[in-house]
Amino acid sequence: MSFSTVFIRRPVATLLLTVALLLAGGLSFSLLPVAPLPQVDFPYIVVNAAMPGASPETMASSVATPLERALGRIAGIVEMTSSSTLGNTQVVLQFDLERNIDGAAREVQAAINTAMSLLPTGMPRNPSYRKANPADMPIMILSLTSETLSRGQLYDLASTVLAQKIAQAEGVGQVSVGGSSLPAVRVDLNPDALNQHGLALDDVRQAISDANSDGPKGAVEQGSQHWQIDGSDQLRSAAEFIPLIIRHNSLEGGQVLRLGDVAEVSDSVENVRNSGFSGGLPAVLLIITRQPAANIIAATDAIHGLLPALRETLGPAVKLKVMDDRSPNIRASLHEAEFTLMVSVALVILVVFAFLRNARATLIPSVAVPVSLIGTFVVMYLCNFSLNNLSLMALIIATGFVVDDAIVMLENIARRIEEGETPLAAALKGASEVGFTVLSMSLSLVAVFIPLLLMGGIPGRLFREFAVTLSAAVLISLLVSLTLTPMLCAKLLQAKPALLVAPRQKRFARLFAQLAQHYRASLEWALDHSRLMLVILLSTIVLNFYLFAIVPKTLFPQQDSGRLRGQAVADQSISFQALQEKLADFRQILAADPAVANVAGFSGGGGRGSGGGGANTGSFFITLKPIDQREPMTVVASRLRKELAKVAGATLYLNPGQDLRIGGREGNAQYQFSLKSDDLELLRAATPRVEAVMRQLPELVDVSGDEQNKGLQTRLVIDRTAAARYGVDIEMISALLNNSFGQRQVSTIYNPLNQYRVVMEVGQAYQSSPDILEQVYVISGDGARVPISTFARIEPSNAPLAVNHLGQFAATTFSFNLAPDIPLETGQAAILKALQPLHLPVAVQASFAGTAGAAQDTQNDMPIMILAALLAVYIVLGMLYESYVHPLTIISTLPSAGVGALLALLLCRTELSLIALIGIILLIGIVKKNAILMIDFALDAERRLGMSPREAILEACVKRFRPIMMTSLAALLGALPLLFGTDGDAELRRPLGITIVGGLIGSQLLTLYTTPVVYLYLDRLRHWALRRWHGRAKPLPLESQL
């Protein structure tokens, strides 16, 4: 009794089990989260530290280096990068994929605590960390605008109220606030008034600090009563600071010198050198990124749930708008994928009907396919998978697979009914006959994914969810084909009229019979010219190696996300006001483009908790219109680059937003190439040479380096001997300059919700020229006022605007995009070739980073993945057939499929990406089904009917011609809708459809002839080996007895 017999004879139990599976699948589907891709994010933690006024070099040496040394001891760090700009340092840690981010966060905090004793005492706050990738595309951008509130007040609301609440939402990693800074009382000193009154800057700083306090006062008690003691020691606004007494001189008639006499005091912001905009209006932005591994849809839904309450908190004077939201695009893409899935199911069922021409027969796979797919949702839910582009692609491809088992079972039972058996008898015998065939087809297909499930890194993470989903669908289909399908055949198929000979079907039956006869005749010719067919097969093997070598390769297809991230870089000596003019020009060009829906951005850093930004840079977030209202994103970007290039003195680099982002360094473009060295001078000498050759390459666009060491600097050359004669030390000079020009935070105003600073520096009107240094006096040890010019001279020089490290070494990273129609592999090869004549020093190490580095590693691993899949299939088939030879016959079908897939990629001008590689590996599992159908029948014919190998394989090919054509067309049409998507992620699915359709066409044209030839050659080889080793031919192996 076969496995299927129980289910055929118990139809009620079989139907109830099917209904239970459908209910469980439907419930699981409703519980599955939604995401653009499987979880492939590296764990990232970013550490931020601030010291206002400190130069990039100071931040790098005194802040970044101690932090890097402490953080570098943490286990599991894959890459550590840092960037130090004016007053800010940001250290990005990328951990191993298997590292638990919460455990890593605890170790990061411990490392920060360890480094605290080595950090400067002038830092206003301890370094902080967040679990987020700063280079990741934001999941949402909110804008705050108001006609009545200042940007400082808006920033206060954003950072104090909104950011705190939003950061608590599930999945939110970091909320950066840009466009302004916290409110502050600014004290803009008048150096002429200070000199007139003989007042030192440090006297003013000390007076402000002493006059503003918030210390404990204690309490008093009397009898049964208790009184808290409070005092008016807190100054909270500029109006209260203006009358502050700086000096009281009793010798001059009690003359009082107040703060307002020597400074302009105003309610302003901590840092006046920043700005933000959204939709053409001044704005404060909240840029929200997710935690690594967090679900985007769940995070954005949680944020949307908070917005009504937050708007109510802000009041009518403040407008809170969603400037950008990734979730609608993701949902639209998944809806498109779901529609594609339904089209695939319909096409597959149409194939069945076209061949069987019978509604009852067509109903059977029409039930089996949805049951198999819906049942797969149960496995996806149990494995904590999501509904994403890859898992839905697995289900789309699975439609062609799951119907194969039902077709093989249905066709065999239908053929027996045509021969005169009753439906029940045909179902019992037919299910028993093809049970091993169906098992072989399914298990060998699942075997393809075994090596991929064991892989690590990005390919392993991407493949795992796809492979498990597809394998689950195939295995559930196997169970359905052995249980539900034969039971339905027994109940629905009719003995009379015969399935394919009814009057309305005779024309199709006659046509197909003629096709089969033509195939038989052509196959006999091929068997008579077997050497020619073998040469053709060997030629396809060689052609595979050639095509694999020449086909362009990349890591991941370019998606049309409808989002561009722009980084404006101006001349390194540009002032803040001049930079704003350049940004306004860029903003006007972007807004005028018909494809652009909205533009937002900021300059000057993001305030507290942000990594800041260079003084000559600005960030743009560009949202394009829906894809049906514009050209492809690559066309839009190319058009914008031409217009943006018209702005002199600045460049706006455009970086297309992608769902898959590798690397934590924020670049001006999609790909990175890095130089690092322990010799800073060698690195600085090599950097301009490398950048120059990269800019000349026609394969690249948007080439830029992050080294910025040409910023203008006013350098004080101090005569230490002369300074010592006046009683002046270096610490006094440093404090004087910080008080004058460092926007020094000299006091704190405490508020129930936040703390605000009192910022002191020389007024902006006196900072128009470095000559102001000649008007600055330092107070010597004996109280004398000494001009700086008496012991120091001023020299103009250059200074870096940013200092970058990679793995604790000084580093320069070049960002680049690819020119239209240029594959990543071609761009990488062009860079490496261009660097050869430069003969870079050994101490300067060059390597691709981020996505480009991962692509390079993956390209080297592609052949290994294909070979591993082939080996796994051979082992499984060898175990099933108990033979070393017959698995080779089955695998011989693969070269023609590989040629078809690679030729299709070349003809469609599509790169061999991870998605296309999935298609090639899938072909290993698809095309072997034809050979399995042939070989199983041939072996059975040799055993039972005593046919010769030639007669057996000839009969097998003709008898199995119909199911072979049905299964191949079902797989081809199931993948065909992948070629015709219209949403932004269609480019993600298209390579999979191209490889499968091309591979199936190539395979179908050749394997119907080469497989029988290989079968006969290997059969002769087996008999020759048995005679040589044992002196006689052994009986057929175990598979012939199944």
Virtual torsion, Cα 675, 676, 677, 683, nearest 10 deg? 40
The model's pLDDT over 413-456, given as tens digits with 9 standing for 90+, comes to 887 887 778 888 888 888 888 888 788 878 888 888 887 777 77
Task: Give the mean pLDDT of the chain.
Answer: 85
Domain boundaries, the chain: 42-132, 184-214+235-269+712-799, 503-550+882-1042
Yes or no: say if 405 and 439 are a contact pair by the CB < 8 Å rule. Answer: no
pLDDT bin (cut points 50, 70, 90) of residue 503 is: low
Query: In whole angstroms, what is the distance from residue 885 CA to residue 900 CA?
Result: 25
The model's pLDDT over 391-411, given as tens digits with 9 standing for 90+, comes to 888 898 888 888 878 888 887
| pLDDT over threshold 90, residue 493 | no
The model's pLDDT over 84-96, given as tens digits with 9 standing for 90+, comes to 888 889 999 988 8
| Token couple for 410 | 């249905």
Q: For residue 497, is the peptide bond before it cis, meaning its omega torsion is within 30 degrees of 0?
A: yes
The pLDDT of residue 513: 77
**Mean pLDDT in residue range 172-182:** 88
Residues composing the chain: 1042
**Mean pLDDT in residue range 263-276:** 88
The pLDDT of residue 22: 94
Pairing of strands 128-130, 785-787: unpaired
**Mean pLDDT in residue range 647-669:** 82
CATH class of 503-550+882-1042: mainly alpha
| Token couple for 926 | 């698809």
| Token couple for 870 | 């082939």
The pLDDT of residue 611: 42
The pLDDT of residue 319: 93
Instruction: Output phi, psi for 559, to 5 deg.
Output: -90, 150
More confident residue, 783 or 756: 756
CATH class of 184-214+235-269+712-799: alpha beta
Q: What percent of the chain has pLDDT over 90?
A: 27
The model's pLDDT over 15-44, given as tens digits with 9 standing for 90+, comes to 999 999 999 999 999 898 888 888 777 788
653 CB-near residues (< 8 Å, 6+ apart): 566, 567, 568, 569, 668, 669, 702, 704, 815
| pLDDT over threshold 60, residue 1035 | no
| pLDDT over threshold 60, residue 294 | yes
pLDDT bin (cut points 50, 70, 90) of residue 109 is: very high
The pLDDT of residue 606: 45
Please determine, looking at this structure, whether the domain spanning 42-132 carries the CATH number 3.30.70.1430: yes
516 half-sphere exposure, CB direction, 13 A CA radius:
18
Yes or no: say if 127 and 47 are a contact pair by the CB < 8 Å rule. Answer: yes
The pLDDT of residue 249: 66
Residue among 365, 471, 374, 371 at smallest CA distance from 408: 365
On the question of a common fold for 42-132 and 184-214+235-269+712-799, the answer reads: no
Task: Provide the residue type at 388 as one letter.
Answer: N
The pLDDT of residue 496: 56
| pLDDT over threshold 80, residue 863 | yes
The pLDDT of residue 873: 84
Pairing of strands 219-222, 785-787: unpaired
The pLDDT of residue 475: 93
The pLDDT of residue 659: 80
The pLDDT of residue 573: 80
**Mean pLDDT in residue range 828-837:** 92
The model's pLDDT over 638-655, given as tens digits with 9 standing for 90+, comes to 999 999 999 998 999 998
Virtual torsion, Cα 995, 998, 1001, 1003, nearest 10 deg? -50
The pLDDT of residue 260: 92
**Mean pLDDT in residue range 947-960:** 86
